Amino acid sequence: MPDRPFITGGPLLGRSPRGAVAIGVVLLAALIPVPGLYTATGGTMEEGFMLYFPELVKQGKVPNVDFLHLYGPGALHVLAGWYEVFGNTLAAERTFGLLQNLGIIFAVYAIVRPWGRIAAAGAGVVAVIIIMTAIGLQAMAWHGALALGLWTVVFAVRARHLNPSAHRWLPWAATGLLAGLALSYRPDAVIGIGLAVGVVAWRDKGDAYRPLLGGAAVGLIPMWIHIVMAGIGPSIRGMVLDPVFELRPGRELPSPPSWNAIDGFLLRVVEFFPPWWELPALGAPRQLFLWFFGMIAAAIAIPAWAWWRRRRGDDTSGTLVLLAAGLFALGILGQGLQRPDSTHMAWVTIASWPLLVPVVIDVVRTLRPSVQWRSASVSAIAAVAVLMFVVCPFYTYRQYVLATRVTAGDLPDPFPVNRDDKTFYFGDIRAADSMQQAIDDLDQWSRPGESLIVGPYDLSRTYYSESFVYWMFPELEAGTYFIEMDPGVADAPDSGLAEEVADADWVLLTRYWVDWNEPNISGRSRSQAPNEVIADRFCLVGNYVDAYVTLYRNCGPGNGVGVSPAEVDGTTPAERVGAR
């Protein structure tokens, strides 16, 4: 295996123009679908809270105290600063998401660089196809943690292989800084980062540990600030107890996925109206089933292969970076095991499947030493491309082509919902029309300083929420801790949601996901108290597009519509009021 200069301290581009060409190929592949992704349908809850939560942080609100946030504070702090400079718009948020994706892609390129420019470019394009199609350009914290975690691997191996006389403390400090920042984004990445850094640093502790730990302490500054502001108890509850113990029963999906049906509700909705695709392929559920086992196999095989190579005497930086990156992928495997839908499995395979390119090159060269590096590299890239085409083309290639067609003007943009300079995109015209009408009425009748709660029409089943509405009304106060609504958390009997509803000025309820059904507890009804408060206190303001959205105003005790949403068969309280 060659020991290429980047890992041992040289520049990323190298001294040859061919390095710039290789990076240009990867960058071009990444940028082709970008215009289409800027106007793609967004996650009305997930992308919504990444737009809104940083604004709350800027106002002095504290995650886990003033609002539910299940991840680390790092992404919110960084995005708050980003929005301060570039504005709190969907374009600014998605630009940041694009930068996070590019960070992942070029970390993969750097990791595979010891196997040559062709291999690195091929692995980079594989990374493009996986990460640019998972959730598009949404600036989720996991993407930031992935980018930082993979660059942690690159810097750790670089530090290990520097000349002992060099100032090695600096790259080790940078390694710790990146690792700490990654954990401030997603503390649950600790296993993957710990394994990756540990295997590189354990034989180099004389030079590594002190700057490594010092850098990590600095990188974790957002976490230290958060713990001081929120307190230890709320921090543990919000970042450990809620996501691991309270949330999981309502969000986990069967492992392995079902062979004949898609288990995740939102993914099932997308596949009900699949985008254009005329090539032969396995059915969508079968792709998820095979992807699941491919995800596990790659996460185990890559570090196992690198370990075997090192046991046989190959102690180059190439085997070390492959071992460390493979252990990182293995350490984050739980992300795909607990909810194996296309998004979560992409979030794991982005760290492993591109690394199959160097593994295949090594296997080919081990079995057939006479094979040229160029031929082995092309064969490896083709093998991984075929793997993706057989196992998961709907969730990778097809989505890439879809965004590219929008970029080229071959398909129209989704349906926009607007207020002032803020725009969000829906994939369904009725959903967009109903939300636009509700937003227009709320804009007309609400007053600054009033409070708003957004949720599903039946608040005893808090499976989802359109949190982007809070972002569109920055002058209104969020009337609930549960801006992000999750089953088993917001709808728990002791959650306090009913008391929050009673104090709110406005409640906006949606029926977009009324048929929500997953093989977990998310479909169960829990506390009816919030529904009863709406029936007792809230008057109907508007019923939009067959009650896709209903808007209510607090009229005081005893002056409400008189009907709990959970008591209505096939109609909303607004429809009952209309009948009366």
The position carrying tokens 């530090």 is 159
| Dihedral over alpha carbons 127, 48, 186, 300 (to 10 degrees) | -40
What's the pTM? 0.94
C-alpha distance across the termini of the chain, in Å: 78
pLDDT digits (tens, 9 = 90+) for 226-239: 999 999 999 999 99
Q: How many CB atoms lie within 10 A of CB 365?
A: 18
415, β-bridge pairs:
426
**Contact assessment for residue 564 and residue 536, using Cβ atoms and an 8 Å cutoff:** no
Residues 6 or more apart whose CB falls under 8 angstroms from that of 575 comprise 543, 547, 568
Question: Exposed, middle or buried by CB within 10 Å (0-12, 13-18, 19+), for 496?
Answer: middle
Tell whether the model's pLDDT for residue 208 goes beyond 90. no
H or E element, residue 452: strand 451-456
Phi, psi torsion values for 540, nearest 5 degrees = -75, 130
For position 574, what pLDDT does the model report?
36
pLDDT tens per residue, range 331-387: 999 999 999 999 999 999 999 999 999 999 999 999 999 999 999 999 999 999 999
CA gap 485, 9 in Å, rounded? 47
Q: Say how far apart CA 447 and CA 434 lie, in whole Å.
A: 21
Distance CA 572, CA 163 (A): 70
Alpha-carbon 569 to chain mean position: 35
Task: Please determine, for residue 278, whether its predicted confidence score (pLDDT) is greater than 90.
Answer: no
The sign of the CA dihedral 440, 444, 450, 456 is negative
Asked whether 94 and 138 are in contact (CB, 8 A), the reply is yes
Query: pLDDT band at residue 1, thresholds of 50, 70 and 90?
Result: low
Using alpha carbons, select from 151, 143, 137, 149 the residue that is nearest to residue 97.
137
Give the strands of the sheet with 538-544, arranged side by side: 477-478, 451-456, 506-510, 549-554, 538-544
